[in-house]
């Protein structure tokens, strides 16, 4: 069966398509949010969505975040995202080959990479049907964790007037590919680590490498610490836990960490510094941009620049008494529209 492609109207988005293939069980939404800086670059999230609306909502929100991320981190790509629904569907090579066909259909307007639950082997299958797939030769969790490490140093400098992380208490929610690597970098820098994960095996493995205090996932955000680092799924800071926070700052790898923009305003009023997720977690997309542009030799320099880009966001937020989210969005859109 061939692909069935349907365009969906969404205000403020350049293109939204829903594609299905009965034979391969493909059910995918690709969102192209903004391409003023270049073709839309964003990963494909493979997830079990309970409804079409949930799938669409996720793709729309994530694609806008990619526009902001790609702009504020200084790369010349627009924002896009794909959400592939795995509800009652088994992952197969054919599934990702048909996703590749869909990407090819867009003729380079959207460039795909990996995201949650999409792995190298899936991208290899995509590459059999399209040339617009990246991240196969780049492991992005390492650059993401290193970029975040630089951002945490910058955040600590802002809240504690010191670049030194020795004895700084950092609580990490989620110690998977990025969070685990981050924990090791922080421990080497002398930070005190508290960590939580829904996967106890990951904590067990990490404990063999570094000293850490383990807490239950539901207790992580109650930790009295300097910085909380959400490194699992989105919506980590929300109405149900915002009042439990006992940290000075938040800087993590998860996308869409705040449930909504009102949380950003609440954090400002309660003097908790929020380092915007789409800036501090941009190391992965920077690495993919380096792969596309053949500038891998400059990667570490670009990762260090994340700290330099964060500094004016935090300073302007303090000076104007505006949320860091608002400031970062303004900076991102200024670059897009200049």
Which amino acids are annotated catalytic? Answer: 81
Q: Are 163 and 157 in contact (CB under 8 A)?
A: yes
Measured between alpha carbons, how far is 138 from 129 in angstroms, rounded to an integer?
19
For the residues of 15-28, what is the DSSP string, one character each? EEEEEEETTTTEEE
Reported in sequence order, the residue ranges of the chain that DSSP labels E, i.e. its strands, are 4-8, 15-21, 26-34, 40-47, 78-85, 110-114, 169-173, 192-196, 213-214, 224-230, 246-250, 273-274
Give 18's strand partners.
Answer: 6, 29
Smallest CA-to-CA distance from 234 within 111, 90, 57, 110 is with: 57
Give 8's strand partners.
Answer: 16
> Between β-strands 192-196 and 273-274, what pairing exists: parallel, antiparallel or unpaired?
unpaired
Q: Which residues contact 216 (CB under 8 A, 6 or more apart)?
A: 196
Classify each residue of 7-45 as buried b or exposed e, where b means 16 or more C-beta atoms within 10 Å of its C-beta: eeeeeebbbbbbbbbeebbbbbbbbbbbbebebbbbbbb
Q: Are 221 and 267 in contact (CB under 8 A)?
A: no
Residue found under tokens 């490194």 = 231
């Amino acid at each position: 069966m061939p692909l069935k492609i349907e365009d969906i109207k969404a205000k403020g988005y350049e293109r939204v398509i829903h594609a299905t293939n009965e034979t391969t069980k493909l059910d995918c939404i690709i969102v192209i949010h903004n391409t003023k800086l270049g073709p839309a670059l964003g990963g494909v999230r493979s997830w079990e969505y309970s409804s079409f609306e949930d799938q669409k909502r996720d793709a729309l929100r994530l694609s806008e975040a990619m526009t902001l991320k790609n702009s504020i981190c200084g790369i010349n790509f627009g924002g896009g995202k794909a959400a592939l629904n795995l509800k009652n569907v088994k992952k197969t090579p054919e599934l990702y080959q048909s996703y590749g066909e869909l990407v090819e259909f867009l003729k380079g307007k959207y460039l795909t990479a990996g995201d949650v639950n999409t792995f190298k082997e899936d991208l290899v299958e995509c590459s059999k049907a399209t040339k617009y797939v990246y991240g196969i030769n780049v492991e992005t969790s390492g650059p993401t964790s290193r970029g975040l490490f630089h951002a945490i140093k910058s955040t600590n400098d802002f809240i504690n007037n010191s670049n030194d992380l020795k004895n700084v208490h950092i609580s990490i929610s989620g110690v998977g590919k990025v969070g685990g690597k981050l924990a090791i970098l922080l421990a080497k820098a002398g930070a005190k680590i508290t960590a939580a994960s829904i996967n106890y095996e990951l904590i067990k493995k990490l404990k063999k490498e570094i000293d850490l205090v383990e807490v239950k996932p539901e207790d992580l955000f109650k930790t009295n610490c300097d910085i909380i680092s959400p490194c699992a799924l989105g919506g980590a800071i929300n109405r149900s836990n915002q009042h439990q926070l006992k940290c000075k700052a938040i800087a993590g790898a998860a996308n869409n960490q705040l449930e909504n923009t009102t949380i950003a305003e609440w954090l400002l009023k309660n003097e908790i510094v929020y380092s915007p997720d789409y800036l501090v977690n941009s190391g992965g997309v920077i690495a993919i941009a380096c792969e596309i542009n053949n500038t891998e030799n400059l990667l570490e320099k670009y990762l260090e620049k994340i700290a330099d880009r964060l500094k004016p966001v935090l300073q302007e937020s303090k000076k104007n008494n505006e949320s860091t989210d608002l400031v970062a969005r303004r900076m991102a859109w200024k670059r897009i529209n200049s």
